Amino acid sequence: MSKWIGTSNQNFSPYAMEELRRLFTSINFIQLIPGEVFLFDIPMESDEVQQLLSTSELIFLRHVQPIDREFVLTGQASDVNQLVEMISYIDSSVADKKISIHIRTSRESLLVNTKSEIKSAMEEAIVEVGGQLVLQNPDLIITIFAHHTHLYVGFGTVEELRSDWPGGAIRFQREEGQASRAKFKLLEAEQVFGLDLSLFKQAIDVGAAPGGWSSLLLERGLKVTAIDPAVLDEKVSRHPALTHLKMNASDVKLPKSSFDLIVCDMSWNPLLMSKLVLGLRPALKPYSYGVITLKLMNKKVMQSIREVKERLGSGYTVLQAKQLFHNRDEITLLIQKNG
């Protein structure tokens, strides 16, 4: 038997739990933060569970934390001592390793210690046993979730937790004059999909206004053809590497096999979006990539995803599908042209 904490985007935990039900024949759930964070237990060893999680496409499970230690909170400042004692007890597990500490709490938690107090106390204990506290590229993450009277602690690598951010909540700093927050979605997709945008040369941005995705592609050194009848942000529209076609994507005629990337972030019916992306396929070079968002506009979410994958399958391979932290009522797909 092993216990875990799963995290999804707000209001999407039912879909994350459904994915896990399909993966594990016997599983039990308890909601911790409704619609977002849940506890689950499985009658399997942790290693077996991790193996299945790592080899399965889970669109809505954003972050997972094994529960390796569980403490009862008293609501006193001395609660942090339990974590310090834990480090001393498992000293060989953290010695000579680069360690990150991720701390999350629910509103109902009895934990009175601040995150900075906990990190400071744990850092001292980690250094004492020969470990090193780091913010990036850790060998091991100690992840802590406090809820009601319980403090749940887990240990894992970035790959095992599915993210190197607490709860998978990737944060980017907003830039002055940024065209839109939608840029964060493409930044996150670049990280999560392991996609180096600077390796591409010519991109099509479908439904580009106000220009958040185009701005990132331009920063990466690409030439961008932005398609949208609406106005682009002035800073984006003035860029010498941008061509703005002020028309609907369905009316555009582009030269064949001229582009190696297509991106699309439109608030459209997902099947119509698929039709547009398929219609622009001749403009792409063989095996070109695409990053597109799929709006989840009805209650039949899983069915909608299946239908879009099937429709896109006539011209593309869907390599990955993921609900990113910066997605809202949508998911993001990484696709590749079939030849």
Residue 121 lies in a domain: yes
Q: What is the CATH number for 135?
A: 3.30.2130.30
Residue 259 lies in a domain: yes
Number of Cβ within a 10 Å radius of residue 299: 7
CA distances from 60 to 8, 100, 186, 197, 338 (A): 6, 24, 17, 24, 26
Number of Cβ within a 10 Å radius of residue 229: 12
Q: What share of the chain is helix, strand, coil (3-state, %, to 5)?
A: 35, 30, 40
Chain center to CA of 210: 23
Domain count, the chain: 2
CA distances from 113 to 79, 99, 135, 148, 222 (A): 8, 20, 21, 14, 47
User: In b/e form, how buried is each residue of 316-337, taking b as 16+ CB within 10 angstroms?
Assistant: bebebbbbbbbbeebbbbbbeb
Q: Which of 108, 138, 168 is the last residue of a domain?
A: 168
Q: What is the CATH number for 248?
A: 3.40.50.150
Same domain? 47 vs 158:
yes
pLDDT value, residue 268: 80
Report the C-alpha dihedral over residues 250, 253, 259, 260, rounded to 10 degrees. Answer: 30
Q: Which pLDDT tens digits describe the chain residue by residue (339 residues)? A: 999 999 999 999 999 999 999 999 899 999 999 999 999 999 999 999 999 999 999 999 999 999 999 999 999 999 999 999 999 888 888 899 999 999 999 999 999 999 999 999 999 999 999 999 998 899 999 999 999 999 999 999 999 999 999 999 998 877 655 556 789 999 999 999 999 999 999 999 999 999 999 999 999 999 999 999 999 999 999 999 999 999 998 899 999 999 999 999 987 888 889 999 999 999 999 999 999 999 997 778 999 999 999 999 999 999 999 999 999 999 999 999 998
Return the amino acid letter for 147: H
Same domain? 220 vs 260:
yes
Same domain? 157 vs 207:
no
Residue 175 lies in a domain: no
Residue 225 lies in a domain: yes
Q: Which of 133, 168, 203 is the last residue of a domain?
A: 168
Same domain? 279 vs 161:
no
Residue 189 lies in a domain: yes
Same domain? 189 vs 131:
no
Which helix or strand (DSSP H or E) is residue 81 part of?
helix 80-89
Q: Which of 116, 133, 168 is the last residue of a domain?
A: 168
Round to whole Å and give the CA distance between 161 and 219.
Answer: 30
Round to whole Å and give the CA distance between 242 and 245.
Answer: 10
Domain of residue 20, residue span: 2-168
Same domain? 153 vs 189:
no
CA atoms within 13 A on the CB side of 5: 28
Residue 107 lies in a domain: yes
Cβ atoms of 223 and 201 within 8 Å: the answer is: yes
CA distances from 71 to 74, 85, 122, 149, 256 (A): 10, 12, 15, 8, 62
Same domain? 279 vs 331:
yes
Round to whole Å and give the CA distance between 40 and 336.
Answer: 35
Which helix or strand (DSSP H or E) is residue 186 part of?
helix 183-192
User: In b/e form, how buried is each residue of 38-48, taking b as 16+ CB within 10 angstroms?
Assistant: bbbebebebee
pLDDT value, residue 182: 85
- Give the closest residue to 50 by CA, choosing from 94, 98, 58, 108: 58
Same domain? 154 vs 189:
no
Same domain? 74 vs 120:
yes
Residue 126 lies in a domain: yes
pLDDT value, residue 180: 62
Chain center to CA of 305: 17
Phi, psi of 245 (to 5 degrees): -95, 105
Tokens standing for 19? 């994915």
With vertex at residue 144, the alpha carbon angle to CA 142 and CA 146, rounded to the nearest 5 degrees, is 170
Same domain? 60 vs 194:
no
Same domain? 135 vs 215:
no
Residue 251 lies in a domain: yes
Same domain? 141 vs 196:
no
Round to whole Å and give the CA distance between 120 and 3.
Answer: 27
Tokens standing for 272? 């119509």
Phi, psi of 253 (to 5 degrees): -120, 115
Residues 6 or more apart whose Cβ sits within 8 Å of residue 323 = 8, 9, 12, 59, 60, 62, 330, 331, 332
pLDDT value, residue 179: 53
Its pTM stands at 0.92
